[in-house]
């Protein structure tokens, strides 16, 4: 079915906009366009990789659906390496829907999620790790996460892994020739050759793994929960960091009753920051539900930002909360420092000895930059910026490289025990297979399906 059918989908986000795009890919893409597009030139005479003005017309009743610009792209120089047509029309919901339905009625079928990128992979234009980078690029929330995705899309990670896999396969070939054809005049594989070769490959793979935590944070970001007693400044902090008035701020304790969240970029790290209901004993049924949600958010968070009102100081309730967060990454903000004298602040700091804390005044914008720096120190070693390094950002890739290193370790241990070289080949082959599952050279249909299911329609 994949070889023969032609797919179509809306490639722009759903909603009303100035422009919408319908993409068609496959052997019948040009035939369909020829039947529904009327321009100054016959579609057959239009040059590849040009944009042409005209109208989309239903050939069955002659009804014009929209004025459009149509791009004709002849294989193999296309994203999917198939014939591709892109129809740029007005971005109304009904316009897009009507044109897509016309394409389907003329012989295309609705594309599955990520099917255009899947075809690009299956036709050899990109490998599997590059295909995964496409969705990472679409979902990127900061400049650094975008750069990491572009680096992977350009094939920098693939190149390193393919080189390692190639060396493993070369070792396998030497072993098999030595074992199967001893009568031929070929260099015999020695234990030291295997040991040194595997050692070099392992070292390069471990260098790649080193940057994973940094890469994961840049790609996925962190979940940060703001907690504290009512009226400590939690909602003001959310508004300050997001640059929006997302949360209602009043002098009345207990104003925030529910979870409010916002994505922000804090020193290059994408942060899903969550404002919560103030933690206190309350008889208010609605506020009580909010406090329960706060405790649930704390359990699931990567980082807790606890706010203490410098005017009120630290009480037993605050100490109890801090003790309960012993296994969490915690930053304590002594807020409203502009309203109290230095002695009062120092009293609070003395009670927080051994804890990570900052002085803040949201009114005077004090401590916000330091909060970003502290967050980077907590989650990333060194600068957040990528420089020229290759960052490993995907958990699937990390897991498979770990398995490859483990297989190499087994082969190295067996070689030390002077196990016959043909038996070492089993672990070496496993290591090569694990790396091949990242780039797609040895990957199952189920894994491919799972990866491309995460894509949006039209990509």
Domain boundaries along the sequence of the chain: 7-111, 130-211+392-452, 222-379
Q: Average pLDDT for residues 279-308, to the nearest whole number?
A: 67
Higher pLDDT, 140 or 399: 399
Ordered DSSP codes for 296-313:
HHHHH-SEEEEEEETTT-
Q: Average pLDDT for residues 352-361, to the nearest whole number?
A: 89
Position 88 scores a pLDDT of 96
CATH number of 7-111: 3.30.1360.120
Angle CA 190–191–196, to nearest 5: 105
Q: Give the three-class secondary structure for 117.
A: helix
- The region of weakest confidence among 292-296, 367-371, 448-452 is 292-296
Same fold, 7-111 and 222-379: no
288 CB burial (10 A radius; 0-12, 13-18, 19+):
middle
* Average pLDDT along the chain: 83
CA 344 – CA 330 distance, rounded (Å):
22
Position 115 scores a pLDDT of 92
CA 380 – CA 217 distance, rounded (Å):
8
The 10 Å Cβ neighbour count of residue 103 is: 27
Q: What are the E-state strand segments in 172-322?
A: 222-228, 260-266, 269-275, 303-309
Position 387 scores a pLDDT of 53
Position 188 scores a pLDDT of 54
Higher pLDDT, 209 or 252: 209
> Residues in the chain, how many?
459
Angle CA 282–283–285, to nearest 5: 105
Q: What are the E-state strand segments in 336-414?
A: 357-359
Q: Which residues contact 83 (CB under 8 A, 6 or more apart)?
A: 25, 26, 27, 29, 30, 73, 74, 75
Choose from 20-34, 234-248, 312-326, 417-431 the range with maximum mean pLDDT: 20-34
Given a cut of 80, whether residue 345 has pLDDT beyond it is: yes
Q: Most distant CA pair in the chain: distance in Å?
A: 90
Given a cut of 90, whether residue 400 has pLDDT beyond it is: yes
Higher pLDDT, 298 or 50: 50
Q: Average pLDDT for residues 327-352, to the nearest whole number?
A: 90
- The region of weakest confidence among 32-46, 96-110, 436-450 is 436-450
Q: Give the three-class secondary structure for 168.
A: helix
Span 61-106, pLDDT tens digits = 999 999 999 999 999 999 999 999 999 999 888 999 999 999 999 9
CATH of 222-379, one of 3.10.580.10, 3.40.50.300, 3.30.1330.10, 3.40.50.720: 3.40.50.300
Domain 130-211+392-452: which CATH class? Answer: mainly alpha
Choose from 101-105, 126-130, 345-349, 435-439 the range with maximum mean pLDDT: 101-105
* Nearest to 404, CA basis, from 425, 429, 434, 427: 434
* Nearest to 273, CA basis, from 293, 246, 295: 246
pLDDT-derived band at 10, boundaries 50, 70, 90: very high
Quote the tokens at residue 203: 């070292």
pLDDT-derived band at 270, boundaries 50, 70, 90: confident
Question: Dihedral sign, CA of 61, 65, 68, 70?
Answer: negative
**Look-up: residue for tokens 């995907």?**
394
Question: Dihedral sign, CA of 339, 345, 347, 349?
Answer: positive
pLDDT-derived band at 1, boundaries 50, 70, 90: very low
Q: Which CB contacts under 8 angstroms, 24+ apart, belong to 252-255? A: 253/229, 253/278, 253/280, 254/230, 254/278, 254/280, 254/282, 254/284, 254/287, 255/230, 255/231
pLDDT-derived band at 289, boundaries 50, 70, 90: low
Higher pLDDT, 367 or 252: 367
Position 302 scores a pLDDT of 84
Q: Average pLDDT for residues 193-200, to the nearest whole number?
A: 87
Position 246 scores a pLDDT of 45
Residue 323 to residues 225, 231, 326, 375, 410, Cα–Cα distance (Å): 17, 21, 6, 21, 43
Q: Average pLDDT for residues 206-210, to the nearest whole number?
A: 89
- The region of weakest confidence among 25-34, 184-193, 220-229, 365-374 is 184-193
Position 316 scores a pLDDT of 83
CA 226 – CA 7 distance, rounded (Å):
46
Span 113-171, pLDDT tens digits = 889 999 999 999 998 988 888 888 887 877 777 888 888 888 888 999 999 999 999 88
Position 378 scores a pLDDT of 81
């Amino acid at each position: 079915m994949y070889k023969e059918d032609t797919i179509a989908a809306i490639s722009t986000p759903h909603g009303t906009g100035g422009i919408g795009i319908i993409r068609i890919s496959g052997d019948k893409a040009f035939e369909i366009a020829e039947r529904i597009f009327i321009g100054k030139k016959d579609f057959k005479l239009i040059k590849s990789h040009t944009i042409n003005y005209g109208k989309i017309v239903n050939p069955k009743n002659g009804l014009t659906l929209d004025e459009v610009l149509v791009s004709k792209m002849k294989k193999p120089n296309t994203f999917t390496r198939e014939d591709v047509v892109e129809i740029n029309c007005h971005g109304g919901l009904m316009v897009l829907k009507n044109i897509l339905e016309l394409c389907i009625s003329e012989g295309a079928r609705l594309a599955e999620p990520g099917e255009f990128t899947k075809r690009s992979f299956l036709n050899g234009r990109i490998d599997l790790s590059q295909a995964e980078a496409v969705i990472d690029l679409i979902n990127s929330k900061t400049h650094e996460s975008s750069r990491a995705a572009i680096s992977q899309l350009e094939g920098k990670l693939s190149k390193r892994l393919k080189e390692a896999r190639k060396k493993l396969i070369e070792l396998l070939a030497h072993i098999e020739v030595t074992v199967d054809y001893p009568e031929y005049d070929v260099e015999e594989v020695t234990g030291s050759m295997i040991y040194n070769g595997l050692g070099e490959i392992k070292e390069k793979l471990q260098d790649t793994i080193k940057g994973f935590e940094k890469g994961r944070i840049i790609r996925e970001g962190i979940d940060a929960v703001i907690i504290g007693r009512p009226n400590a400044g939690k909602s003001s902090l959310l508004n300050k960091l997001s640059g929006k008035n997302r949360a209602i701020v009043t002098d009345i304790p207990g104003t925030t009753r529910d979870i409010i969240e916002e994505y922000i970029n804090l020193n290059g790290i994408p942060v899903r920051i969550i404002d919560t209901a103030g933690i206190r004993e309350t008889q208010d049924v609605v506020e009580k539900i909010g406090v329960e949600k706060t405790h649930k958010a704390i359990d699931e968070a990567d980082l807790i930002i606890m706010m203490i009102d410098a005017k009120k100081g630290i009480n037993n309730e605050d100490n109890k909360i801090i003790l309960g967060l012993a296994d969490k990454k915690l930053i304590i903000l002594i807020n409203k420092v502009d309203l109290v004298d230095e002695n009062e602040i120092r009293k609070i700091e003395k009670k927080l000895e051994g804890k990570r804390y900052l002085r803040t005044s949201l009114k005077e914008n004090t401590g916000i930059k330091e909060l970003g720096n502290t967050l980077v120190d907590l989650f990333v070693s060194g600068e957040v910026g990528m420089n020229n390094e290759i960052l490993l950002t995907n958990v699937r890739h990390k897991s498979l490289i770990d398995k490859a290193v483990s297989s190499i370790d087994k082969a190295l241990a067996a070689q030390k025990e002077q196990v016959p070289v043909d038996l070492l080949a089993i672990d070496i082959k496993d290591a090569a297979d694990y790396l091949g599952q990242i780039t797609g050279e040895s990957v199952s249909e189920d894994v491919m399906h799972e990866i491309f299911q995460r894509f949006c329609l039209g990509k």
